[in-house]
Amino acid sequence: MKVCGHASRVPPHRASAIGLATVEHVLGIGYSCLPDGVSPPSELGSGLAAAAWYWDQLDERKCAELLETFKTNRTGWVPTLVVLERILELGGHDGKPIADPRTLERLRAALHRSAELAVRLHRMGGLTGVGTDFPVDTVSAGESVHRELELLVSLGQATPLEALQIGTLSSARILGFEALLGTVEAGKIANLVVLSADPLKNISNVRSVTLVVHDGKVHHPQ
Q: What are the extents of the domains in the chain?
A: 4-182, 190-222
At residue 1, the pLDDT reads: 78
Question: 87 near 149, Cβ under 8 Å?
Answer: no
pLDDT at position 46 is 66
Closest CA to 78 of 172, 11, 191: 172
d(CA 192, CA 213): 5
Per DSSP, which regions of the chain are E strands? 4-5, 22-24, 76-78, 92-93, 96-97, 127-128, 192-195, 209-214, 217-219
Looking at the DSSP assignment, which residues form a beta bridge with residue 92?
Answer: 97
CA gap 212, 194 in Å, rounded: 6
For 75-85, write each residue's pLDDT tens digit: 999 999 999 99
In the CATH hierarchy, which top-level class contains the domain 4-182? alpha beta
Q: What is the pLDDT of residues 45-82, one digit of tens each?
A: 668 998 999 999 999 999 999 999 999 999 999 999 99
